[in-house]
Structure 1
Amino acid sequence: MFDIGTLTMNPTLDVACEVEEVFPMRKMRARGEHYDPGGGGINVARVFVRLGGNARCYYLSGGATGAALDGLLDLHQLVRSTIRIGGQTRVSTVVHERCSGQEYRFVPQGPEVAESEWTECLSRLGDARHDYIVSSGSLPRGVPVDFYAQAAAIASQREQRFVLDTSGEALEAGIAGGHVFLAKPSLSEFRAIIGADLPDETSIAEAAMEFVERGKVEFLAVTMAEKGALLARRGGSLRLPAIAVEARSAVGAGDSFLAAMVFALAAGKAVDEAFRFGLAAGAAAVLTPGTDLCRPDDVERIYERSSD
């Protein structure tokens, strides 16, 4: 069975609910509340396991909210390797407004992490035995911007494939350090590290290919929401259009995409087919409400339909 380790440096306890209408300065009675373990790497693990693989979650956890997060991981039957911190794990909230169909997302900054705590993460990775290490999500305060570059170097020494999904300086430094097998920025995240608008598909492809040709990353997948996604790999780029579905939530689409793509690669599929499978999972994720993620039956159905 395929096995990965996922690293989540700034996990969340995800809360989802719905109200009839959002008003300022008024108590709004919510219903349908739902609680899930969240954060990029944890979401990737949830999808990877749903698809039939094995995943161990490496993540920071602190305070009463951290204990609740640990319990939710156990309920989801996810194997966990917890790094204890002094700060409180953050709580993120998604509110669906029924009258408009709009979704409101509230994401706190999260705790400040001590040097001894983030270096413990690197130590755990040094002992990890997985085919892939998937590092996904933002870096909390106190963690250096080159943390993912350090993690990638450790994975390279152990001949593990390092997958990166983050943003800003952490993404730029992570790719600059090399040793990245697959990186998956969104288009806005990619534009930010390039420092250019990249107004058309040609400019996006050229910028993505430059990273591959310089040997900083083996594969670079840029997700572009309603415009689909682009994959840069040696020999050129592949652009796939978005798969039309009725969206219920935008939460977890990128994590579902990444988990499914890594799952397909671990299963031995060619990178182009893995890319298609990831796109199907991203589309399947928006079918589910709140903080839920893609469902395997939806992924397979959409993948088969898109391959016709």
Structure 2
Amino acid sequence: MTDIVTITPNPSVDLSTAVEKIIPVYKLRGTSQWRDPGGGGINVARVVKRFGGDVSAIYPIGGSTGDSLRKLVEREGVASLTFPIADETREDFFVSETSSGQQYRFILPGPQLAESEWSECLNLLSRIAPFPRFVVASGSLPGGAPDDFYARVARIAKQRSAKMILDTSGPALVAAVAEGVDLIKPNLREMRELASSEPSDASEWEGVARTLVQSGKVAMIALTMGHLGAVLVTRDRVLRALPLAITPVSATGAGDSFLGALICRLASGTDIEDSFRLAAAAGAAALLNPGTGLCLPGEVNRLAEAVIIQST
């Protein structure tokens, strides 16, 4: 039985390189090249697999880029549950400027899914037997998918007594929370959209999360706050992870690494505080890995020893 299934309706192949300086018009020759499978749920699955978790990934594939994506996912040992689409799978492009340390991220347009295509994603999930204990839906929605797509995923998970985990933004997040989910992992921008408020410091952000949990629509919120650290809020407990003093190399993958480590440990029966500690370390470790490589377990375990957790 697969413990965890991730859903990525808008995956990508992520190409990363580095140049000394970005200058208009000139040919800029990259000093390196990485190609990774991308999209929220796929990234979460990659991290879960690295920590020894049992995970499968559901995602669409279209054209030659879709074929490449599937090979990249399976190269990392993640089992794929794919379905074909007419349009080409998207590619994203990341460039690090070594002279400044800045990273530039180019997110290209994704495919347009027909109703029969996005419906097949839901059908694939429904047909899994035995059903997983955790369903992790993550990332943006492709064109053509309805705003309540993740709410429909939540409904299926609820019907099968599985935990529904969500990491998305905008109307898709609002609709899924209205349906009811077990855990969301917003960043500050996503939490601002969901709560329609503008907290000024970490304690106010924590208060917003507590109010949402008390509403009964979300059982747990893992709020990542960048330089402010992270907070995990349940109905009867609040955990705060203080930020680690690191110098970021990359600007990508922290949220997916955080969520992958958190869910992997929760699925294994690890207590909430230790799971949260590893998640905070994983988010920081991803920033030390260039390109879209996500976190590495050795670095995560090293950083976890330095994570300070406050509990109330």
Partner of 1:171: 173
**Aligned pairs for 1:146-225 within 5 A:** 146-178=148-180, 180-225=181-226
Partner of 1:131: 133
Offset of residue 221 of structure 1: 0.9
RMSD: 1.4
Does structure 1 conserve the Cα–Cα contact (< 8 Å) formed by 2:36 and 2:72? yes
Which whole-Å CA distance do the structure 1 matches of 2:63 and 2:303 have between them?
40
Partner of 1:90: 90
Offset of residue 273 of structure 1: 2.2
Which whole-Å CA distance do the structure 1 matches of 2:51 and 2:288 have between them?
17
For residues 261-299 of structure 1, what are the alpha-carbon distances to aligned partners after superposition, in whole Å with 9 as ceiling and x for unaligned? 001111212223211211011011111001101011111
Which whole-Å CA distance do the structure 1 matches of 2:76 and 2:238 have between them?
37
More divergent stretch after superposition (77-86 vs 270-279): 270-279
- Partner of 1:143: helix, strand, or coil? coil
- Partner of 1:293: helix, strand, or coil? coil
Does structure 2 conserve the Cα–Cα contact (< 8 Å) formed by 1:12 and 1:91? yes
For residues 209-265 of structure 1, what are the alpha-carbon distances to aligned partners after superposition, in whole Å with 9 as ceiling and x for unaligned? 122111111101110011101111112432221112221102111000000000111
Which whole-Å CA distance do the structure 1 matches of 2:199 and 2:147 have between them?
24
Partner of 1:226: 227
**Alignment length, in residue pairs?**
307
- Partner of 2:194: helix, strand, or coil? helix
Does structure 1 conserve the Cα–Cα contact (< 8 Å) formed by 2:244 and 2:306? no
Q: TM-score, normalised by structure 1?
A: 0.96
Partner of 1:118: 118
Structure 2: give runs of 5+ residues left out of the alignment: none
Which whole-Å CA distance do the structure 2 matches of 1:137 and 1:109 have between them?
14
Partner of 1:21: 21
Which whole-Å CA distance do the structure 2 matches of 1:201 and 1:32 have between them?
38
Q: TM-score, normalised by structure 2?
A: 0.95
Partner of 1:145: 147
Residues 131 and 281 (structure 1 numbering): CA distance in 2 closer, same or farther, change over 3 Å?
A: same
Does structure 2 conserve the Cα–Cα contact (< 8 Å) formed by 1:277 and 1:303? yes
The reply on whether 1:41 has 2:41 as its aligned counterpart is yes
- Partner of 1:100: helix, strand, or coil? coil
The reply on whether 1:51 has 2:43 as its aligned counterpart is no
Which whole-Å CA distance do the structure 1 matches of 2:201 and 2:74 have between them?
45
Partner of 1:286: 287
Residues 228 and 45 (structure 1 numbering): CA distance in 2 closer, same or farther, change over 3 Å?
A: same
Partner of 2:62: 62
Which whole-Å CA distance do the structure 1 matches of 2:201 and 2:252 have between them?
26
- Partner of 2:231: helix, strand, or coil? strand
Which whole-Å CA distance do the structure 2 matches of 1:194 and 1:160 have between them?
26
Which whole-Å CA distance do the structure 2 matches of 1:273 and 1:234 have between them?
18
Which whole-Å CA distance do the structure 2 matches of 1:148 and 1:262 have between them?
18
